[in-house]
């Protein structure tokens, strides 16, 4: 407690540099904007376990869900810029949501990029009682439905929703989206046969695919996923070019001292280069970001480039949110 007050006093008296000097002096929280047990939560927890070693303080996970992840990101944006609240997010929450919601915050102006995290291709999966053994058969079955087939998502603007919109476009089908607070609860309903498909993150589906409780048709990449070599690529399965990789990242509130951003970046980069951590992440089908893309500036530039790329498609889809 005394250490924390000293840190706050120093920060008030001497500004960011002093704040950074005593950082961290108490536990740090990563705000995950989706349900526990899902792909974002799983990655955040694996990294937090290793980051605490470097930072010397506990790194806690708080799941703040809803509205495609925009509620959790909003919580981080409104947190003090002192390095103790970190926003975990991805292509959905830190790119797509800006084209879907009136957010009340700016994804670029109100957040400081910290580090690009691993990515994974999406995977097209269905409930087991769909009478299709290949992607072509699945497309035939989806098109023959009297009413739009149901697709589970983590809410409008989430990765699984953007992937669904892209799938609709390329496959020329209509889907009925069923929103959940994350793809973990959506997966429970897919296994139970309550919904028809998910265009999911490989890291979320891989365990169920291996267990045979759901059916996989293709990964949205031009190369197979090392940890699921039996699943063909969309190019092999008859949807050439339907490529989508969902990347994640960490951000902090704008105004967080750059020394603290550098500490958090270093702790994450160290975690990502730890062989035990890499093994856990690669086993989930996750691909490590290239070394030269792991700086805060690289994430900032990549986020802006993805905004320019994805907003036109998302805005054209005219997504209705309450």
Q: Please give the residue ranges that form the binding site for ligand MLT (CB under 6 A).
A: 34-35, 38-41, 92, 154, 158-160, 182-184
For residue 181, the minimal CB distance to ligand MLT (Å) is: 8
| DSSP secondary structure letters along 8-77 | HHHHHHH-HHHHHHT--SS-EEEEE-S-TTSHHHHHHHHHHHHHHHHHSS-EEEEE---GGGHHHHHHHH
For residue 133, the minimal CB distance to ligand MLT (Å) is: 26
- Rounded-to-integer distance, Cα 242 and Cα 202, Å: 15
For residue 163, the minimal CB distance to ligand MLT (Å) is: 8
Q: Which residue has the tokens 């007050």?
A: 5
Pick 184 or 234: Cβ nearer ligand MLT: 184
Long-range contacts of 317-321 (CB under 8 A, 24+ apart): 317/165, 317/169, 319/100, 319/156, 319/157, 319/161, 319/165, 320/156, 321/67, 321/68, 321/100, 321/101, 321/156, 321/157
Q: Give 75's strand partners.
A: none
Pick 95 or 237: Cβ nearer ligand MLT: 95
Query: Under a CB-based contact definition with an 8 Å cutoff, are residues 216 and 205 in contact?
Result: yes
For residue 159, the minimal CB distance to ligand MLT (Å) is: 3
**CA dihedral defined by 233, 237, 242, 247, rounded to 10 degrees?**
-20
Beta strands in 202-244 (DSSP E): 214-219
For residue 89, the minimal CB distance to ligand MLT (Å) is: 9
Pick 24 or 38: Cβ nearer ligand MLT: 38
Helix or strand (DSSP H, E) at 299 = helix 296-316
Max alpha carbon distance in the chain (Å)? 68
Pick 243 or 254: Cβ nearer ligand MLT: 243
- Rounded-to-integer distance, Cα 8 and Cα 25, Å: 10
Pick 81 or 92: Cβ nearer ligand MLT: 92
**Burial class, 188, CB count within 10 angstroms (exposed 0-12 / middle 13-18 / buried 19+):** middle
For residue 69, the minimal CB distance to ligand MLT (Å) is: 6
For residue 119, the minimal CB distance to ligand MLT (Å) is: 12
For residue 61, the minimal CB distance to ligand MLT (Å) is: 12
Pick 20 or 44: Cβ nearer ligand MLT: 44
Pick 25 or 40: Cβ nearer ligand MLT: 40
Q: Which two tokens stand for residue 3?
A: 């250490």
Pick 64 or 266: Cβ nearer ligand MLT: 64
């Amino acid at each position: 407690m005394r250490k924390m007050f000293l840190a706050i006093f120093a920060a008030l008296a001497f500004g960011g540099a002093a704040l950074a000097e005593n950082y961290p002096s108490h536990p740090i929280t990563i705000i995950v904007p989706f349900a526990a047990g899902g792909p974002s939560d799983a990655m955040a927890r694996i990294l937090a376990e290793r980051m605490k070693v470097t930072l010397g303080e506990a790194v806690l996970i708080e799941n703040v869900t809803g509205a495609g992840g925009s509620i959790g990101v909003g919580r981080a944006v409104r947190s003090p810029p002192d390095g103790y609240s970190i926003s975990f997010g991805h292509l959905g929450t830190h790119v797509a949501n800006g084209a879907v919601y009136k957010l009340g915050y700016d994804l670029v102006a109100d957040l400081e990029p910290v580090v690009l995290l691993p990515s994974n291709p999406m995977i097209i999966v269905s409930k087991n009682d769909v009478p299709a053994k290949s992607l072509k058969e699945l497309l035939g079955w989806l098109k023959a439905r009297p009413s739009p087939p149901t697709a589970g998502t983590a809410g409008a603007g989430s990765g699984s929703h953007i992937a669904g919109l892209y799938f609709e476009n390329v496959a020329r089908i209509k889907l009925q989206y069923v929103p959940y607070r994350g793809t973990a609860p959506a997966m429970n309903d897919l296994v139970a046969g309550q919904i028809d498909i998910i265009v999911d993150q490989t890291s979320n589906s891989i365990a169920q695919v291996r267990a045979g409780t759901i059916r996989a048709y293709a990964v949205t990449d031009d190369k197979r996923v090392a940890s699921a070599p039996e699943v063909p690529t969309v190019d092999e399965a008859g949807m050439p070019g339907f490529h989508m990789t969902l990347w994640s990242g960490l951000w902090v509130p704008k105004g967080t001292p750059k020394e603290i951003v550098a500490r958090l970046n270093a702790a994450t980069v160290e975690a990502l280069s730890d062989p035990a951590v890499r093994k856990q992440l690669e086993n989930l089908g996750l691909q490590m970001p290239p070394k030269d893309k792991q700086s805060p500036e690289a994430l900032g530039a990549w986020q802006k480039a993805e905004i320019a790329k994805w907003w036109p498609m998302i805005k054209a889809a005219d997504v209705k949110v309450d």
